[in-house]
Amino acid sequence: MSSPARESEFRSTRWSVVAAAAGSTASSRAALAELIDQYWYPLYAYLRRQGESAADAQDLVQAFFAELLEKEFLRSADEQRGRFRSFLLVALKRFRSKEYAKERAQKRGGDAKHVALDFESGERRYQLEPADSETPEDVYQRRWALTVLESALAELRAGAESAGETARFQQLKIHLVGEGGESYAATAEKLGISSNAVKAAVFRLRSRFREAVRDQIAATVSRPDQIEDEMQELQRALRPT
């Protein structure tokens, strides 16, 4: 059973955030800010892999989110249509297909709303993306999957901080995906507990992590029967090419 904190997090993510962001209240603006924070980099990486220069990709993402702010574009989002990430990518493709070159130049010097995005760090992140044969859609999918994992991990971290167990969490999380490079014995020595206790704690942490990932996924689809498909999509997106 999900904890009250996880249920609260579930209610405030993705499709429910879309519904809130479609309004014009202070809470809807906060909801939109959450969406922008979660999705701007996957969209930026998609555009860069499409061949856009860093400057043009920045302009497009900036203008795209300005469109959301100015025209309440999210009102056209309908959770019955399926996955929010798919809706967002289709919306960006349509936006990009329009002739926005001149308008983007005008927006930079005009009165259009500005969305504060850290493009400098975004470009640094993009330069670390694998230089392989991934399609722009593959890059978007992978960054979406990593965003899901990062959000799930942030949820666990927040829970640990609330419980005053931040240091313990930091030591245990290196074993979360089995690639920490440190033995249970070494972690046990740092935490002052037995290796068996570390093993049990890591098992529980992995279970909570899987639940948190599943909750994140559940909040991005319109029907419960889509959850398993999305979990498989996430695993495929993270698989080395």
pLDDT tens-digit series, residues 75-120: 666 655 567 788 788 888 988 887 555 555 555 545 555 566 667 7
pTM: 0.70
Strands (E), the chain: none
Residue 2 has pLDDT above 60, yes or no: no
Other C-beta atoms closer than 10 Å to the C-beta of 91 total: 18
- Report the distance separating Cα 141 and Cα 124, nearest Å: 19
Query: pLDDT tens for residues 213-234?
Result: 998 888 777 677 788 988 998 9
**Cβ atoms of 112 and 70 closer than 8 Å:** yes
Mean pLDDT of the chain: 78
CA 106, 109, 113, 119: dihedral to nearest 10 degrees? 100
pLDDT on residue 15: 61
Annotate 8-47 with b (16+ C-beta within 10 A) or e (fewer): ebbeebbbebbebbbeeeeebeebbebbbebbbbbbbbbb
Region for residue 178 given its phi and psi (left: phi exceeds 0; alpha: psi -120 to 50; beta: otherwise): left
Cα 40 to chain centroid distance, Å, stands at 9
Count helices and strands (H / E) in the chain. Answer: 12, 0
The answer to whether 204 and 196 are in contact (CB under 8 A) is no
Residue 11 confidence class, pLDDT cut points 50, 70, 90? very low
pLDDT of residue 161 exceeding 70, the answer is: yes
Residue 229 CB neighbour total at 10 angstroms: 13
What integer is the mean pLDDT of 55-65? 87
Mean pLDDT of 12-31: 63
What's the confidence (pLDDT) of residue 81?
A: 56
- Residue 127 sits at the vertex; the CA angle it makes with 234 and 92, to the nearest 5 degrees, is 55
- The Cα 193–Cα 215 span in angstroms is 31
Give the range among 83-92, 154-163, 207-216 with minimum mean pLDDT: 83-92
Which strand (E) or helix (H) includes residue 43? helix 26-49
Cα–Cα–Cα angle for 204, 206, 208, rounded to 5 degrees: 70
Residues 6+ apart with CB under 8 A from 149: 213, 234, 238
Q: Is 130 helix (H, G, I), strand (E, B) or coil?
A: coil
